[in-house]
Each structure stands twice: as structure tokens, then as C-alpha cells.
Amino acid sequence: SVVESRDNSTGGHIKRTSDVVRVFAQKLSTHCEQFGIDEDFLTRVIKAAPMHDIGKIAVDDVILRKPGKFTGEEYEIMKKHPTEGAVMLKRILSEVDEREFVSIAVNVAHYHHEKWNGTGYPDQLSGEEIPLEARIMALADVFDALVSKRCYKDAYDYDRAFSIIEHDSGTHFDPALTPLFLECREQLIALYQSYEPCTPATEQEPII
């Protein structure tokens, strides 16, 4: 709620990505043994998902609400939000008894912009150094960025969005998680069709 009060676009993103994580978690629930997880882990990830961008409340309004693309300097400031979010959640959730949930929430906020090949931020983690919960969040986060309208881009059509995610398996995304995410195509399209319709873009723009 705090993040939504700062930025309407971010608020919609929070709801949609949380819904995507819920859909993806249903798929992962049938592959728990493969990833060494259980239903409790997935439930915690679903609960943590809405907090992944909480660090954005530390970003100045001039940047957060800018109606256009960021400059290089502005982008570097925006890239601090995962670290800020992790610090905030450690403090906010310090008295929560369920420590496993706290750890997952902090990791989701801190590492959802890391990439499998080590070129993400803020810590340039790679592969399984990136917590599984953050690798799950990364897929939901980018998918929403692709298929939703932003101030600097129109929404991509679903074929393009899923093609980009498939192409980035093993570079941006966990190559074991990505095929399972792609199997959620029908459910995800139905989910987004239940929202307000978006207009597909005709030209590809960079995704932040």
C-alpha cells in the first residue's frame, strides 16, 4: 500500500506480479522435489511477492514519477531500490517470528534484478548464488514489464513476450525454471485478459 501511494504504475505492477507468482507457484508445486522445496516455501514466496519493490519508496519522486526514460544517472539511482528494499524489510519484519518468511521476503526484494549470467544488479550474483525465490520473482517481474504499458513503451503482445523470456533462459533466467514458466502461458494470458486490455507495441524498447 505504501509503494502504491507513491507511484500508480508501480502499484499496478505489484498486484500483477503477485498474481503471476501465484500462477507460477501452482506449476512449481508439482515440481517441488526437483527444486528441493515444499508447499510452505511456495506459500511464503507468494506472500513475499508484493514486497519486492518496496525499496522504490526510497527513490525520489522526481525520478520515480518521471514520465519517460531514465538518464544514465537516474537509472543508477533506481538500481539502488533492491538494496534499499532489503534493508527496509529487515527492519520492518525484525519482530516477525517466522524467520524463514523474513529471509524469503528480504531475498525477493534484494535479488529480483539479478541475472543467471551474473550481469544483473545490485550484487552481480550468478546461477544458484541467486536465491530461488528471487529467480522466481525475476520471471514474474520481467513478464509484467513486457506485457504491460509503461511510460516509455507500449505493451508487447504475448508471443513476443514469451519469445523474449524463452530466448533469455540461461542468460537472464534460471534455465530450469524458465520452461515451467512458459508452460503457464495459457493461465497467464487468461490472467492478463482479466485486467484492462493493453495495446501491443510495434517496436521493441529496452526493459528496465
| Burial status of residue 204 (CB atoms within 10 A of its CB: 0-12, 13-18, 19 or more) | exposed
Nearest to 83 by CA among 61, 66, 107: 107
Instruction: Name the active-site residue from 56, 66, 80, 153.
Output: 56
Give me the half-sphere count of Cα atoms (radius 13 Å) on the Cβ side of residue 184. Answer: 25
SS (HEC) of 129-152: HCCHHHHHHHHHHHHHHHHCCECC
Q: Is-contact 59 78, C-beta < 8 A?
A: yes
Q: Give whole-number Cα distances, 55 to 62, 112, 162, in Å.
A: 15, 12, 28
Active site residue 56: yes
What's the sign of the alpha-carbon dihedral 88, 77, 79, 153? positive
Q: Is-contact 64 77, C-beta < 8 A?
A: no
Peptide bond before 67: cis, by omega within 30 degrees of 0? no
Task: Give the active site residues.
Answer: 56
